[in-house]
Amino acid sequence: MMGKVYLVGAGPGDPELLTVKAVRILRSADVVLHDALVAESILAMVRPHAQLVDVGKRAGEKRMTQDAINQLLVEFSGCAETVVRLKGGDPLIFGRAAEEMAALRKAGVEFEIVPGITAAVAASAQARIPLTDRESSPAVVFLTAQQAIGKGPTEIKRFASADTTLAIYMPNGRYGEIGRQLIAAGLSPQTPCVVVSSAFRVEQEMAWTDLAGLRLVSPPESPALLIVGAVARCREEIPAAPSSLLGVFKIGLEATRR
């Protein structure tokens, strides 16, 4: 009999933000294939003697192709009762879950999705800003700055709208270019922005600025997320200010907890 595969969201890295179901499955897993960015404190929750397989990548260096990961999921399901594919954030948002589900369906392997907190929600929570607002932002768009290999970067200006929040995953240091695209598409240079790096981790950083000032942002360590829109105004740490005075403000984790 074949085992079952669980595609589990590990959230932003804080073990306390895992769902109860995710914790239960990790504690009963026989094999866990995990991303490189999954926190050690979360991997420590895996059942003792379970096999841990790092299938992630860092700084663009692939340790394993997606096809190889798909094949491993199918192979492990043939010899293990509970197989976990553990992903940072939520499996269904920029997590390549579609490819893995297709491979499992083709092989006739039973699987289940266990959602996790996605990066945009984690980043906005730590910045203490909403992703939507009845007064200014009735919509939010999740998008990635980088598409599949061969497709080039996302044409972000297509999503520009004064009343829409943009949650941009994997900006990969393209902050100045993103700012220029959105201004060219009609957004005000003073549109607020915040970059959140490593949300809910000790090394967390935030950079508060606007579209005109995005070119001044030094690329933080991955994972990072860029939020653009009226909701991204730094409401607590700095007053509203014109672009020439706003600058870039970096705030560490301890400061956000005050």
What's the one-letter identity of residue 222?
S
What lies within 8 Å, CB to CB, of 138 at 6+ separation is: 132, 163, 164
How high is the pLDDT of residue 249?
44
Cα–Cα nearest to 223, from 144, 163, 156? 144
Are residue 53 and residue 170 in the same domain, yes or no? no
On whether both 92 and 123 belong to a single domain, the answer is: no
> Any idea what DSSP says for residue 223?
S
| pLDDT per residue as tens digits for the range 52-87 | 999 987 555 657 899 999 999 999 999 999 999 999
Q: Per the residue annotation, which of 21, 57, 62, 106 is the catalytic one?
A: 57
In this model, does residue 258 exceed pLDDT 80?
no
pLDDT digit string (tens) for 19-65?
999 999 999 999 999 999 899 999 999 999 999 999 987 555 657 89
Per the residue annotation, which of 35, 87, 90, 210 is the catalytic one?
Answer: 35
Q: Any catalytic annotation for residue 57? A: yes
Predicted confidence (pLDDT) at residue 211 exceeds the cutoff of 90: yes
Total number of domains constituting the chain = 2
Q: Are residues 137 and 206 in the same domain?
A: yes
Q: What is the pLDDT of residue 2?
A: 85
Give the domain range for residue 231.
Answer: 119-256
Q: Whats the size of the chain, residue-wise? A: 258
Give the Cα separation of 161 and 151 in Å (integer).
24
35 is catalytic: yes
pLDDT per position as a tens digit, 94-153: 989 999 999 999 999 999 999 999 999 999 999 999 999 999 999 999 999 876 565 667
Beta bridge partners of 164: 139
User: Does residue 251 sit in the same domain as residue 127?
Assistant: yes
Cα separation of 45 and 48, whole Å?
8
Lowest mean pLDDT among 2-11, 171-180, 182-191: 171-180
The answer to whether residues 105 and 139 belong to one domain is no
From 114, 137, 168, give the residue that closes a domain: 114
**Same-domain check for residues 169 and 125:** yes
